[in-house]
Amino acid sequence: QSVLTQPPSVSGAPGQRVTISCTGSSSNIGARYDVHWYQQLPGTAPKLIIYGNNNRPSGVPDRFSGSKSGTSASLAITGLQAEDEADYYCQSYDTSLSGWVFGGGTKLTVL
């Protein structure tokens, strides 16, 4: 069981907007540690798409955005495209584990 909780799956039609939630606790997200998001395409390593709660690395489309409030965070994807179909993971730091923690991952299906 993952320290951060994500829905197992979400789906949306091309052009639509979807959100993926990430719920933590007072020892990680609630302790004011940043949340980061990764996209993992099949058979590849995860790729950073949002860092520091709401910042995009160079080259990541502005269709991807992040937010954080309290002990939770969210990833939003607007203008859904077929190429967005992937697994998405949230990540933060946990003071109890003294290390990185991940969500269980959310599979995004583009209908």
Q: How far is the CB of 54 from other proteins (least distance, A)?
A: 12
- CA 73-21-55 angle, to 5 degrees, is 45
The two three-digit tokens of residue 7, written as one number:
């829905």
The answer to whether residues 54 and 67 touch, using CB atoms and an 8 Å cutoff, is yes
Choosing from 14, 15, 57, 61, the residue that interacts with other proteins (CB under 8 A) is 57
Binding other proteins (rule: CB under 8 A), the pick from 58, 82, 83, 98 is: 98
Stretch of 10-18, 45-53, 58-66, 75-83 lying at the interface with other proteins (CB under 8 A):
45-53
Among 9, 14, 16, 52, binds other proteins (CB under 8 A): 52
Alpha carbon distance 110, 86 (integer Å): 9
Cβ distance to other proteins smaller for residue 14 or 57: 57
Distance CA 102, CA 104 (A): 6
